[in-house]
A and B are shown apart, each in its own frame.
Chain A
């Protein structure tokens, strides 16, 4: 199953490599990994998407917790949560495809943020599955470049991941 593990980690050099190293050393799979500072400058927030059986996910969370730099973590999938990913897609356009692409971007609530006579850049956020669906909906040959941030997420309601 797919899991989204959200981690508060000390904002220290080397902390990221401890997490990445753990995954490669123990053969766990990483689908995506995002890191950015938080409102507390001493902490970073990391969101990691991985897949595995319940046993493996249990080991992954235990091993992550064992890292001295990891302050706290939750598996977002265990409760109701919101997941968002940012994507930018550069699409080659011709006179008669431009309208269709604009329409498609609209349906998916994307925005066109760069225009040249032969290209569009579409910006879109949403759960990863929505972004996948958009890609599937456009002609693959016209896609020049796809850039995705990898998902991040937050739990719903009052519960939160903080100190």
Chain B
């Protein structure tokens, strides 16, 4: 498996807090990598460094073999790196379809004042993306009227509409109501796999991790404490005690 994303020795401290303390990680093309770990471990920081929001004090990040540190988010998008946010970032005054159309326009030509945002081709593509996510019925809803779960999905749909090769998702399922969660994750994973997108996602639900991740990276105090297939990593007694917070021996799925 060739690495699409490689991090080497990333370090970043905020005052005394080491949010990244020597991160080495390779993510293969087509892989689904889950990041787990307690709050404050530096998971969001890793995503922010990879997407150009934060600049590490040391280390390197290679995407598709080329160094990308120092490139603005705007440039990284054009290289095919997409992200969704821990707090979804939608344009509240616009409808869901318009939010997607803005992403499509950003890809296809944003600058002509004579092309309407809701021109048929963009509209249709927006609807097509929403249909893939199974949320076509939300098309006309104003983004600030969505519930938390829908907001997360639309946020990811916007990222997907930009046609990324790599997507980084910060807690895509937090805030999604319990009963719908698995169905939503299944849809999400299907859409991303169908599109051949490589995914890195921060996740707290071990059942989701166990079912959908190819590998799991365990973050602890700015370092990767464990890395491997979910069944191995989630069975590791130290991980179970420190990260999942259950006694070794208990069934993994019982925690969810």
> Do A and B share a complex?
no
B residues contacting A by CB (< 8 A) are none
A residues contacting B by CB (< 8 A) are none
